[in-house]
Structure 1
Amino acid sequence: MNPGYIFTLFLLIVLPLLYLLISTKKTCKKLPPGSWGLPFFGQSLSFLNAMRTNTAENWVQERVRKYGPVSKFNFLGTPTVLLHGQAANKFIYTCDCNTLANQQPTSIRRLMGERNITELSGNDHKRVREALVSFLKPEVLKQYVGRMEEEVKKHMEMHWHGKEEVQAMPLMKSLTFSIMSSLIFGLEQGARRDALVEHFQHIINGVLSMPVNLPFTRFNRSLRASAKARVMVRELLREKRETLKQQHTSAASANQDLISCLLSLRNEDDSILLSDEEIIDNAIIVMVAGHDTSSILITFIIKFLANDPSVYATIVQEHEEIAKSKASGELLTWEDLAKMKYTWRVAMETLRIIPPVFCSFRKVLTDFEYEGYIIPKGWQVMWAACMTQMDEIFFPDPSKFDATRFEKQSPSPPFSFVAFGGGSRMCPGNEFARIETLVTLHYLLSKFTWKLSCRDNSFFRDPMPVFNDGLSIQIKPKKL
């Protein structure tokens, strides 16, 4: 074996252990209970295995039963504290930026870049968030409803019409990537977009992997894909900057896609608001987060509707009424989306039961006390906020699919339903996801009926939900 690889492995194993020993000796106060586990790997392998066997909820519950809602362990080479429950959700989402900062595990940070919004805190986070919201806010997004519908129609004509059976999940991933490519990067269908989607799929595969950069590892493949994607995005950046110069940065050209929008933003002194690295990092994180989460949500709605005739009948009626009000060939409008109230309740209930993202992370900036334990500076906080969404204290009969839970303005206590985060960390892309979901479902429900093809519709997390068979469904076109 190459001596350089041996040395790298030595550093990866020994340095975290030394850090754990030093940090533990420095802290004379009470640390949370729990075992560090194996050297370097800690509890990483058992947790990642639980994700891939869809038993992550059991993994967390077992730790809570054994140690309580606060426990320590070693995850991906970093000392970590697991916080659990509604109180933990509230604490993390409302905690000041001097105590906890955004910082993802090493694997995510190296793949997505150091300047993406999930890594930033304080004024930097506020500045980047406001920049992203300038494109993702409803008053801007409403002009893209028709554009999204056109992408949906093109996709359906190519991959659904004329077919008797399809795999819903990979097709929904393809569709949402097409929509995101158009609106985030301004890329239309073609070889360039196909190459980019392949790179992004490799990036996603390594998001939660052991950060060992050795040949033939998942992390190595993801790093190489990330480097290639960044080269492509940097070239897009150059092209769009040149286009904006030629068009003298008109409002219309600046709002054509996210990159153009971010390039056009200026401070009061006319200096650039975001650096090129910040634009690239945040375009990548928006792409990864947006296309995968929306496709998962739509796929699981397809599954739930196939299993629940009464919900299906109600949602179809809502969309048929909207379709009847439209002239032939007329595109959806913002006002049409506002009528899809029951559809969005179905989506919220789907997110409650099957959240695309299972766990999140923060970095500890200074020692703090929580539930009688000291959490030392330099550790990372991990929590599965979505666990409260399946807690019968907040949601009676939590395994039952019941869209009527969301008929009320506030269907649950604060910080118990956190599908889009909370506090200042609320997902800036939640409105984008809503529009994308509603537009796609309208076309599906208006043009097709479907039923599940396979009895085994199990899924695993890698790190997001993936159906073992892609969710095969038999489809029939509706008679007009």
Structure 2
Amino acid sequence: MKDIEEGFFSMPINLPGTALNRAIKAAKLISKELMATIRQRRIDLQGHDLSSRKDFMSTMLLAKDENGQAFCDEDVASHLAGLLLASFSTMHSTITSIMKYLAELPDVYDSVFREQNEILDVKPKGDHLTWEDIQKMKYSWSVASEVLRISTPGFGGFREAITDFTYEGFTVPKGSKIFWTFDATHKNPKYFPDPEKFEPSRFQGNGPAPYAFVPFGGGPRMCPGNEYARVVMLVFMHNVVTKFRWEKLIPGENMIYYPAPRPARGLPVTLHPNKP
């Protein structure tokens, strides 16, 4: 996935050793593995009760389009590859940034720790987290949201103007291609006072103004994986915070942005197990 990610932002030169060439080879390898898995899944689904199969691949194999036609294996593989790629860089970037800020801000860590342990204390030992538990993680989600605001894992997105409009004295005609950026609002002091300060309370109460916080986009083209991402981040925070404290080994480590923000040297940390 890393090779494909880097190929998206490379020069369009397909020669051996180039980023684009590595990306094409990686994409072919992933497609081959997905096609083999899809063929086996089709065999597994034959003659079985399908009502219990809730995973994404099985759902795609059983789905029909608007004309009542099933998706071919290539279409299913394409959707799965897109899902894997879209979740790869964004999730590992955000989780790494969560680790970074919790290491740098012990008061924020302590508040997350208290909230997660309150959830843990009322559960039978060994029980898995439930959807109801996730809904209780309000402060933890405020922390994750502030991480997404400051270190959004991306630049923005392309859209097309559906009508003529005027913005800041410039007329944008219908059909124009537009690139919107996260930082246009995420770092705008009009919506987020002192925007470089890490302040989870921005997301408590009524939260920010509509469409000021858009790490998943907005409207009908909003990222379909937003709830999946929220669950992954909160489950990760629960497990890591209830088990460990940690400290950064490189206090002043720089962040680089290609394409998603990440620590220049990988954020090495020392883990300290929490006492039971």
Q: Fold-level match, TM-score > 0.5?
A: yes
Percent identical among aligned pairs is: 35
Alpha-carbon distance in structure 1 between the residues aligned to 2:224 and 2:23? 26
In the TM superposition, residue 350 of structure 1 has moved relative to its aligned partner by 0.7
The 3 A distance-change label for structure 1 pair 472 and 226 is same
RMSD: 2.1
Alpha-carbon distance in structure 1 between the residues aligned to 2:137 and 2:220? 27
Structure 2 match to 1:420: 216
Structure 2 match to 1:205: 6
The 3 A distance-change label for structure 1 pair 349 and 367 is closer
- Give the counterpart letter for 2:52 in structure 1: A
What is the TM-score of this pair, normalised by structure 1? 0.54
Q: Give a deviation string over 1:318-338, Cα, whole Å, max 9, x none.
A: 111111112221211111111
What is the aligned counterpart of 2:236 among 440, 456, 462? Answer: 440
Structure 1 match to 2:37: 236
What is the aligned counterpart of 2:110 among 313, 317, 332? Answer: 313
In the TM superposition, residue 387 of structure 1 has moved relative to its aligned partner by 2.5
In the TM superposition, residue 381 of structure 1 has moved relative to its aligned partner by 2.7
Alpha-carbon distance in structure 2 between the residues aligned to 1:206 and 1:316? 39
Q: Give a deviation string over 1:346-365, Cα, whole Å, max 9, x none.
A: 0001111110011322367x
In the TM superposition, residue 435 of structure 1 has moved relative to its aligned partner by 0.8
Superposition pairs of residues 325-474 of structure 1, within 5 angstroms: 325-362=122-159, 368=164, 370-371=166-167, 372-373=170-171, 375=173, 380-409=177-206, 411-474=207-270
In the TM superposition, residue 466 of structure 1 has moved relative to its aligned partner by 2.2
- Give the counterpart letter for 2:180 in structure 1: W
Structure 2 match to 1:284: 81
Structure 1 match to 2:58: 260
Structure 1 match to 2:25: 224
The 3 A distance-change label for structure 1 pair 400 and 269 is closer
Is 1:475–2:271 an aligned residue pair?
yes
Alpha-carbon distance in structure 1 between the residues aligned to 2:94 and 2:10? 23
Q: Secondary structure at the match of 1:252?
A: coil
Structure 2 match to 1:27: none
In the TM superposition, residue 376 of structure 1 has moved relative to its aligned partner by 8.0
What is the TM-score of this pair, normalised by structure 2? 0.91
Alpha-carbon distance in structure 1 between the residues aligned to 2:14 and 2:65? 39
Q: Give a deviation string over 1:121-156, Cα, whole Å, max 9, x none.
A: xxxxxxxxxxxxxxxxxxxxxxxxxxxxxxxxxxxx
The structure in which a higher percent of residues are helix is 1
The 3 A distance-change label for structure 1 pair 277 and 358 is same
In the TM superposition, residue 383 of structure 1 has moved relative to its aligned partner by 2.4
The 3 A distance-change label for structure 1 pair 369 and 277 is farther
- Give the counterpart letter for 1:327 in structure 2: P
Structure 2 match to 1:4: none
Structure showing greater radius of gyration is 1
Q: Secondary structure at the match of 2:46?
A: helix
Over 6 Å off, 4+ runs: none
In the TM superposition, residue 429 of structure 1 has moved relative to its aligned partner by 0.6
Conserved in 2, the CA contact under 8 Å of 1:450 and 1:475? yes
